[in-house]
Amino acid sequence: MTDMSERFMVVPVDAGDARPGEDRADGDSVFLDAGAGEDERRGSVPILLQYSREPNRFGDGNPRESSLFLNNTDDEKGNLYDGKNMALFEEEMDSNPMVSSLLNKLANYTNLTQGVREHEEADEDEGAKKKTVKSPQMGTFIGVYLPCLQNILGVILFLRMTWIVGTAGILESFIIVSMCCSCTMLTAISMSAIATNGVVPAGGSYYMISRSLGPEFGGAVGLCFYLGTTFAGAMYILGTIEILLTYILPSAAIFKTEDKELQAEAMLNNMRVYGTCCLTLMSLVVFVGVKYVNKLALVFLACVVLSILAIYAGVIKTIFEPPVFPVCLLGNRTLQNHDFDKCLKTDIINNVTVTTKLWSLFCKGPELNASCNEYFTLNNVTEIPGIPGLTSGVISENMWSSYGPAGMLVEKPIEAETASDTSQDIYMPYVVNDITTFFTLLVGIYFPSVTGIMAGSNRSGDLRDAQRSIPIGTILAIVTTTIIYLSCVVLFGACIEGVVLRDKFGDSVKGNLVIGTLSWPSPWVIVIGSFFSCCGAGLQSLTGAPRLLQAIARDGIVPFLEVFGHGKANGEPTWALLLTGLICESGILIASLDAVAPILSMFFLMCYLFVNLACALQTLLRTPNWRPRFKYYHWALSFLGMSLCLALMFISSWYYALVAMLIAGCIYKYIEYRGAEKEWGDGIRGLSLNAARYALIRLEEAPPHTKNWRPQLLVLLNLDTELSVKHPRLLSFTTQLKAGKGLTIVGSVLEGTYLTKETEAKTAEQNIKSAMTAEKTKGFCHVVASSNLRDGISHLIQSAGLGGMKHNSVLMAWPASWKQSNDPQSWKSFIETIRETTAANQALLVAKNIDTFPQKERLTEGTIDVWWIVHDGGLLMLLPFLLRQHKVWRKCKMRIFTVAQMDDNSIQMKKDLQMFLYHLRLNAEVEVVEMHESDISAFTYEKTLVMEQRSQMLKQMQLSRTEREREAQLIHDRNTASHSALNDKADATPERVHMTWTKEKYFTERNRNREAIANMAVRDLFNMKPKQSNVRCMHTAVKLNEVVVCKSQDAHLVLLNMPGPPKNREGDENYMEFLEVMMEGLNRVLLVRGGGQEVITIYS
């Protein structure tokens, strides 16, 4: 038994014996020990390794082997594998790295931080060193929850929530909030599933949608999301200006008017002017220093949180001490409390009854006997508390809706006298509806207040663990905001008087923000908080939207947007910011918050719809890569969310929904038509594969009916020495024949094995695809490597296509140089192709002079002539019809010629053919050509004789060539045998060999035999007579050619029946000659051979 204590021993050997690493004669190698000292390596005595089993000094108990080859000094390869354990795989290391190397790279992977921060360093110079990006450290609360909270809670809550509750009532408001929040919750569940299905780089929602649904949907929805974010910026800016001019600084208005009818228009003009100035200022801030916006985000968030807390504190305070905000009513009508301080018609001062400011608003003078408005005279003024408090029971009055047209008076449901003349009411200081209100309008206005759920996913690059933080943070934020919104609906309805709730701008409470009247300790907390909140939201929209556009532009899927991918040296999207500013300005010019809100609702709803679609699609398709860490999703929830989004779009505004869908559809088709091809492993591709599989299985169940038959082409292309397409017009003709319909497979054959021709095959495939693109041929490319051309074509004919999507016709070019070719295989493979297509019941189309066929130029006049000699299933008549569908051949007329024999009634044949074409619904001129029986001419006889002599001569040349090759092989074999005999008997004495033939005698005799054979062959050639069958075939070809040339020499295209090859293969070359004679003198010819089935029918 071998002792286990063996180890490596270092023994010196002679320097002359071997060099380090050199193979010796006995097959042993001498290796240099990598562990040896430097002096030993440089010394003259190489070192030989001997194997020993003794445990090494390093203590792992495993024998170690060191060698010059295994311990490579090449760092790159040394990192890929270690020692001889992986030597089997070392040739594949470049393409297939070791698992340890892969894991090491993954461990060092970090997401680049994204979003609203300036790049650490300009990246203009490629060689510039960049600062190390710090590892993302934000958790769920800071990175997802708070940004979502800040984006969801915003301008609509502060400026429109009370009005929505007052107009729709508590019940319907509850329904609106529930629908919108359910929509975002379902979307968040779908988004969480997508976000946790792998690493989501910077790009957020756009990245998720585009990589899940493909570039077309991704680009369309990405641009919709961009437009939504941009219009959101416009809405926030309009909200900021509304707060400024209505509640903070009304005196700052530029356009002022005393006329009540023009006040609304003046306000809109003020919004446009101030909004434009605010947009310009914010754009400059974003352009100059985005990092300041990012730093101020916490301040804006604090404003939102403090405002919410102030509202809840105010609600609690109303239980004990409601705030004093009296509302003045005239009868049951609410008055604007701007121009009077006392809610009285008259007042007693120093025991004297005097009129008040309110009197002067309704009467023509301050006198007690002045003529006054009829309604003012009939009804008394009363003062009620605007904020009765939580325990006042006002909730029952606010339970139901109060919709109405624009200009409708805001009235309290109490009894009052009615006036006969109401024409002057519009000039009186009443609170009125500024717009027509209805349920669906309020849905569109409210929905933007629940958007912002993507804020967490947009920061995915900044999160410590995005796959955990995004679902938890987003869903918690939605739950929190839903509770806030639903509680606000109930609390507003329970605390605030109904007429005050319906007073959109707080005119009845001295121009205070209605929600501010409820807050504690002061209305200014809400006013200032909402002002800064709107400012911050506007800045963030103007920061995020350009980056989203830049991401879309840099993806390269929308060519005309590529300019917006560029920016400043530090990567800031300058051009994208400019476009965002212009689009935002269009929203500001609308000037009404209520008109802008439904627009951005559409774009956000469309984005959410496609997030749900992406999740549902991936779940139903069961894509192998679909493995989300977030498990609480289901395709039914995603489908419900998608349906809810679609319903909300049409509920909010059906015409805006149609416009948004039209925009998305146009972008989709544009990307599909002009966009860059991207393979992102998207779900739409998976859906296409499933649909294709299902369709293929259905197609294979039964053969196609004659009515559905169309040429499914296998186009056989020849390649030149540079692997380029030799006849690109064959592809042009394919396009004209197919018009993009049906199946087209473009195939080619390379001679050789696939292992040796792999690179050439891929190059050829790329060249063919480029040619197909240039000729607008839609189809598939298939290049095969085969030992010979004939077998390769046979493989294509047999195996191209899949299931029911197989070709039924083969298109190829006529081998024009078959006579000049020294290699008979060129025309032999052509004839074998004809035989194989016939055996496979496939049609065959052979184009002669294909390089003269029209490419893109339209043929203005002329004819397509069909020579219908034998019935081939109707393919000859179907092809011209298909060609004339294309613009190149559209103006050509179709003519059909048929041949009548002596015993045929040509007049009746013409009538029958015309009737047949009528039933086929084909427009064509018909002509019957009579071919009279005639004797075989001397010309035909001579032509047949020359053909057979040439064929015989070629056979003899082929035989002599074969004989020479056999002779050379024989000499080679003899030399090899004699060499082996000499080696075997190297030590033996060579025996004497007596040769009967000398070398000279052998060559003399061989030449004499050859001359005798050659003389005999020449005599045979001159004495031979042609075969009768060949003479008859040649006669047919010559006579038919005469008739066709006479009638169709000027035709743009001639279609001829292609006769089949002879059953006896010895006549193959003669067959080629017959075809050549038949087509002689014609420019463009298409030989057609049917597939053995009917392809055209007279029945519907």
Give residue-wise pLDDT tens across range 153-196.
888 999 999 999 999 999 999 999 999 999 999 999 998 888 88
**Which residues pair with residue 691 across a beta bridge?**
none
The reported pTM is 0.68
Q: Average pLDDT, stretch 221-226? A: 85
Helices (H), 331-465: 357-362, 374-378, 439-446, 455-458
Residue 849 DSSP symbol:
T
Phi/psi at 290 (5° precision): -70, -30
Residue 802 main-chain phi, psi, to 5 deg: -150, 125
Structure-block tokens of residue 452 = 């912002």
Q: In this model, does residue 591 exceed pLDDT 50? A: yes
Average pLDDT over residues 804-822: 80
Is residue 250 reached through a cis peptide bond, with omega within 30 degrees of 0 on the bond before it?
no
Q: Write out the DSSP string of 255-290.
A: S--S-HHHHHHHHHHHHHHHHHHHHHHHHHHHHH-H
Token output for 369: 């006997």
494-514 burial, b at 16+ Cβ within 10 Å, e below that, comes to bbbbbbbbbbbbbbbbeebbb
Please choose, from the candidates 879, 792, 852, 901, the residue with its C-alpha nearest in 3D space to the C-alpha of residue 1058: 879
Query: Which of 50-64, 128-142, 574-588 is the least confident region?
Result: 50-64
1013 Cβ contact partners less than 8 Å away, ≥ 6 residues apart: none
Distance in angstroms between the alpha carbons of the first and the last residue of the chain:
92
| CA–CA distances in Å: residue 1031 to residues 31, 950, 1041, 1055 | 80, 15, 15, 25
Looking at the chain, the whole-number percentage of residues with pLDDT higher than 90 is: 21
HEC assignment per residue over 176-231: HHHHHHHHHHHHHHHHHHHHCCCCCCCCHHHHHHHHHHHHHHHHHHHHHHHHHHHH
Burial of 631 (0-12, 13-18, 19+ CB in 10 A): exposed
DSSP assignments along 425-454, one per residue: GGGS-B-B-SS---HHHHHHHHGGGG--TT
Reduced to 3 states (helix: H, G, I; strand: E, B; else coil), residue 818 is coil
**Alpha-carbon span 193 to 204, nearest angstrom:** 13
% of the chain residues with pLDDT over 70? 74
Which residue in the block uniquely carries the two structure tokens 């179907």?
Answer: 878
Q: Which two tokens stand for residue 1017?
A: 């062959």
Burial 328-358 (b: 16+ CB within 10 A, else e): bbbbbbbbbbeebeebbbeeeeeeeeebbeb
Q: Is the pLDDT of residue 1052 over 70?
A: yes
**Helix or strand or coil: residue 995?**
coil
Helical (H) or strand (E) element with 498: helix 498-501
Q: What is the pLDDT of residues 239-291, one digit of tens each?
A: 999 999 989 988 888 888 777 777 888 889 999 999 999 999 999 988 887 77
- Do 596 and 590 form a contact (C-beta atoms < 8 A)? yes
Residue-wise pLDDT for 638-658, tens only, equals 999 999 999 999 998 888 899
Report pLDDT digits (tens) over 692-711. Answer: 777 777 777 666 777 667 78
Looking at residue 414, its pLDDT comes to 86
Amino acid at site 405: P
Mean residue pLDDT of the chain comes to: 78
Q: pLDDT class for 1013, splitting at 50, 70, 90? A: low
pLDDT at 609 over 70: yes
pLDDT for 509-526, tens place per residue? 888 899 999 988 888 999
Return the structure tokens found at 60. Answer: 């792992």
Q: Which helix (H) or strand (E) holds 754?
A: helix 754-774
- How does DSSP classify residue 1010? H
For 433-480, write each residue's pLDDT tens digit.
988 999 999 999 999 999 888 877 766 666 778 788 889 999 999 999
C-alpha to C-alpha distance for 1019 and 407, rounded to whole angstroms: 118
Interval 731-747 mean pLDDT = 83
The more confident residue out of 925 and 672 is: 925
Q: How confident is the model at residue 970 (pLDDT cuts 50, 70, 90)?
A: low
Dihedral angle of Cα 677, 678, 683, 688, to the nearest 10 degrees: 30
Q: Which residues contact 846 (CB under 8 A, 6 or more apart)?
A: 811, 812, 813, 814, 1058, 1086, 1087, 1089
Query: What burial class does residue 121 get, using C-beta atoms within 10 Å of its C-beta: 0-12 exposed, 13-18 middle, 19+ buried?
Result: middle
* Whole-angstrom Cα Rg for the chain: 45
- How many degrees, rounded to 5, is the angle at CA 475 between CA 471 and CA 480? 150
The pLDDT confidence band at residue 716, using thresholds 50, 70 and 90, is very high
Which is more confident, 838 or 116? Answer: 838
Helix (H) or strand (E) holding 768: helix 754-774
Cα separation, 33 vs 530, in Å, equals 78
Residue 422 burial (CB count, 10 A): 12
Q: Are 141 and 473 in contact (CB under 8 A)?
A: yes
Measured between alpha carbons, how far is 228 from 892 in angstroms, rounded to an integer? 52
* Position 97 confidence tier, pLDDT thresholds 50, 70, 90: low
CA distances from 686 to 38, 217, 555, 630 (A): 61, 14, 21, 22
pLDDT single digits (tens) 419-428: 887 888 888 8
137-141, 205-209, 822-826: which is most confident: 137-141
Q: Please provide residue 658's backbone torsions phi and psi, each rounded to the nearest 5 degrees.
A: -65, -40
Phi (first) and psi of residue 1039, to 5 degrees: -65, -45
